[in-house]
Amino acid sequence: MNDIDVAELQRRLAAFAAERDWGQYHTPKNLAAALSVEASELLEIFQWLTPEQSAAVMEDPETAHRVADEVADVFAYLLQFCQVLGIDPTAALAAKVERNEKRFPLPEAPEPEDRHSSE
Amino acid sequence: MNDIDVAELQRRLAAFAAERDWGQYHTPKNLAAALSVEASELLEIFQWLTPEQSAAVMEDPETAHRVADEVADVFAYLLQFCQVLGIDPTAALAAKVERNEKRFPLPEAPEPEDRHSSE
Amino acid sequence: MNDIDVAELQRRLAAFAAERDWGQYHTPKNLAAALSVEASELLEIFQWLTPEQSAAVMEDPETAHRVADEVADVFAYLLQFCQVLGIDPTAALAAKVERNEKRFPLPEAPEPEDRHSSE
Amino acid sequence: MNDIDVAELQRRLAAFAAERDWGQYHTPKNLAAALSVEASELLEIFQWLTPEQSAAVMEDPETAHRVADEVADVFAYLLQFCQVLGIDPTAALAAKVERNEKRFPLPEAPEPEDRHSSE
């Protein structure tokens, strides 16, 4: 993931939409709806699977392609949503991870040197 | 977005879940459901807004924070889903963008040199 | 809606699933996921429409059929979900309507003496 | 479910919204979004549960109440959506059930006379 620049992808998505005059449709509300719809299309692949079957979806090439394709759609709408509202998704997630590390502290906090051995 | 490494965030999310023994819950199916639920929580902020109101959500600091927080949740579950299935979301999106550029060609294709000037 | 019995539809759906041995897939969790997926398919029809366009979807026969079909899918999974958990959806809604009438009292009370007695 | 009239509930929901001047928010698009959001709130209850745990949710009174409450919300928005577009959800489902009985015939088709006796 290091080789491809997320910000560059965001710029390509924005140019792609602008060239096709899709900006009029890309209100934050519509993009949030589209993001939600795409996330459901990803879920649809898993809806009747057992937990074990769900862990093996990448073994079938056709299903693997479908999963990756839905991931791309979700990611695309997430980046476009962030673009139109000026949100940096990576910074938002970094902030959240830091809040969560405080909000859900480790159940039993071992001594720093013990921590390693308990993992 | 360049300063913060997406792969690094993905590793922190994985470590965070592993330390809390949440791996048992993080089947691809459950993560797809959680991603879909978080995308809906983002949509919920917009569900009664007009298109114009939706474009102004970042003007209210409290709503802006809520939006960024839901973006972080969606992004977190997307990255965790990709992690457990070995999918590179940025590569998947790059492949999709290239397919879409072929699938939805510009309505009227100008000469290559004209294209540049129209952008 | 009076002529067709909802409970009868629920029985037909249950028989339909039982005859095809689909009961193994119809865990409450899977049915909740399927309900959510179908609700998103309904939303998909509207995701790029303006409020005005969304109000006119029934004017196009093909779209009207698609909308009714997705409504049927949502309703089917809602009834099947309720069936497997022994929930009466109509009773649950009646209880909710009553709670809401208390939770969201009318904003401006017309005749003070009348309103008071009705609350 | 026979005792409570679905059409009557639909009328009460419509009156409730009209009295509060919520009609302006109740575009088909917004109601489809709200329906999808509520379906996700129902799914949220199940997202980390095993299939077995999901089958036992009604054993805990607090969870049982939460499930019934989300069912009511989904049903309410489904009925309101249908109301604003003039769709009869029960007729739409009856039509779908009939189509599905043709689309997914029983895996092993018995002799016509046997089939009759099994229904």
Cα separation, B27 vs A97, in Å, equals: 20
- Cβ within 8 Å, pair C4-D49: no
- With a cut of 90, say whether residue D94 has pLDDT above it: yes
Cα separation, B9 vs B100, in Å, equals: 28
pTM of the full structure: 0.89
Cα separation, A44 vs C38, in Å, equals: 9
Q: Write the residue in B36, B104, B119 that is nearest to A43 by C-beta.
A: B36
CATH number of this structure's domain C6-100: 1.10.287.1080
Residue ranges per structural domain of chain D? 6-100
Which spans in chain D are helix H? 6-19, 28-46, 51-55, 61-85, 89-103, 112-118
Q: Would you state the pLDDT for residue B69?
A: 98
Q: Stretch D40-55: mean pLDDT, rounded? A: 98
**Structure token pair of residue A9:** 């992808």
Cα separation, B98 vs C43, in Å, equals: 27
Beta strands in C1-119 (DSSP E): none
In single-letter form, the type of residue at position B5 comes to: D
- With a cut of 50, say whether residue D116 has pLDDT above it: no
- Per-residue exposure over B99-111, b if at least 16 CB sit within 10 Å of its own CB, e if not: ebeeeeeeeeeee
B15 interaction partners in chain A (CB closer than 8 Å)? none
**By three-state DSSP, how is residue D49 classified?**
coil
Q: Write the residue in C45, C74, C96 that is nearest to D72 by C-beta.
A: C96
- With a cut of 80, say whether residue B113 has pLDDT above it: no
Question: Could you tell me what percentage of chain A is helix, strand and coil, using 3-state DSSP and rounding each to the nearest 5?
Answer: 75, 0, 25
- Distance linking the first and last C-alpha atoms of chain B: 24
Share of chain D above pLDDT 70, in %: 86
B50 interaction partners in chain C (CB closer than 8 Å)? 51
- Residue B25 backbone class (left: φ over 0; alpha: ψ -120 to 50; beta: rest): alpha
Query: How many Cβ atoms sit within 10 Å of the Cβ of residue C56?
Result: 13
Q: Would you state the pLDDT for residue A9?
A: 92
Among residues A27, D87, A78, D23, the alpha carbon closest in space to that of B82 is found at A78
Distance from CA of D90 to the nearest CA of B (A): 26
D107 interaction partners in chain C (CB closer than 8 Å)? 20
D32: closest chain A residue by CA: A33
Higher per-residue pLDDT: D17 or C109: D17
Segment among A3-7, B78-82, D20-24, D40-44 with least mean pLDDT: A3-7
Q: Stretch A70-92: mean pLDDT, rounded? A: 97
Across the A/C interface, how many CB contacts are shorter than 8 Å? Answer: 35
- Cβ within 8 Å, pair B50-C50: no
B39 interaction partners in chain D (CB closer than 8 Å)? 40
